[in-house]
Structure 1
């Protein structure tokens, strides 16, 4: 398998499975949809620290996890030394031998430079009849969070933040899959409010972890008050007596290569 130059690190891997472990825990039903079988070859695209890669392997499949973050892959290798991991960008990866299935959880929306190319690469990585099973953020994902960011940036006289994600509508993504040579067998689009109980800073912690790129180049002295303003703006919609919530909207699908 060949991997081209990795993409920059997406978030702080040290918090990925601790303060923000819901990214992995909430993906468990997706493995059931994949239904990995003993002896199958599965590629986990955007595997992060390998939690779901290991879950797929426990079903008896031969699985390879790839991710664009070297830090994520380093942690995955340390945690699961018996599994195969490598650094790979979804826009560029190729495989030497095709796979029976490609799986992806909470990663495709980060591959925003050219989503169509990512889908083309997945198709090329599959045997005819191979499965593509994934979940990503859908249209409206984090709408309250991103609206709070936009308003805070505007109030501070800053340019609109350039957000790093791709959140498609169900119709848009189904059309991309069909155009690339897939038959869509299942597509679900649903709200999934997610507790941020382990984010003491609320929305500001979420911004630092998942949208840290928007803080790059800002004067250091305004970052704290700017994020404080994001908290104030997001609180009416997202803060509950029990803690903060993220307004997630998910797009889950299963497709088959023609």
Structure 2
């Protein structure tokens, strides 16, 4: 989950488990949409530290978890040694007509080019197999990222679009890509999901975990000042009852091969 970003592995798997376990918790309802059947073989694409893969394992399926982050895969293996976890890139999966389903939670907004990943997912599935995914959609965390980019510019730095690591498509955009890859799209949904970030430092922790690439080339002390300014400017909008509430907007899709 949230793990197909770059060739450099910057993921702190322990911090992810401690401060960002909400990623897996929100994926529980996606497992219900997947509706795994006992004996099916399922690929968890972007498995993170393995919590949802384990939930699937406990439902009686044969599960394989893959993630681009070596740190995530090592943590998942420590936690759930009974499950097979591998380091693999979503755009270059090493499978052919192998899985009854490919499941992916909070990963595909990190993956570009998206069409290349969709071709790899399609190839991995058996005929009639299903692809079930949720990830960031159009407008996801835009209040936060717009303010970060504004403060970077206010601090005198240029912001290059290449520093923006995510792909947040509309339903129309992503469904079209799925059809181009060969899928029959049977379900597509875009919805608001306001997401609490734990405690007074929740926004800062979120930026540290997921948003570091926005600050490429900016000295640490300036970065800290920018984050403080972001917190100050967004507190009246996103801070409620002792927690930051991130403006998540999600896409859910189902495609059949």
2: CA distance between counterparts of 1:10 and 1:39? 35
2:256 paired with 1:252: no
2: CA distance between counterparts of 1:125 and 1:65? 13
Tell me how far 1:39 sits from its aligned partner: 1.2
Other-structure match for 1:139? 138
Other-structure match for 2:46? 46
2: CA distance between counterparts of 1:178 and 1:125? 16
Change (3 A) 1:82 1:202: closer
Other-structure match for 2:195? 194
Other-structure match for 1:106? 106
CA deviation string 1:106-146 (max 9, x = no partner): 000011x2000000000000011100000000000001001
- Give the gaps of 5 or more residues in structure 1: 1-5
2: CA distance between counterparts of 1:69 and 1:51? 15
2:131 paired with 1:117: no
Tell me how far 1:234 sits from its aligned partner: 2.0
Q: How does 1:72-221 map to 2 (within 5 A)?
A: 72-95=72-95, 98-111=98-111, 113-160=112-159, 162-198=163-199, 200-221=200-221
User: TM-score, length-normalised on structure 2?
Assistant: 0.93
Change (3 A) 1:48 1:165: same
Is the CA contact 2:38–2:61 (under 8 Å) kept in the aligned structure 1? yes
2: CA distance between counterparts of 1:158 and 1:89? 32
2: CA distance between counterparts of 1:51 and 1:188? 24
Structure 1 consecutive aligned stretches of length 4 or more whose deviation exceeds 3 Å: none
Tell me how far 1:204 sits from its aligned partner: 2.4
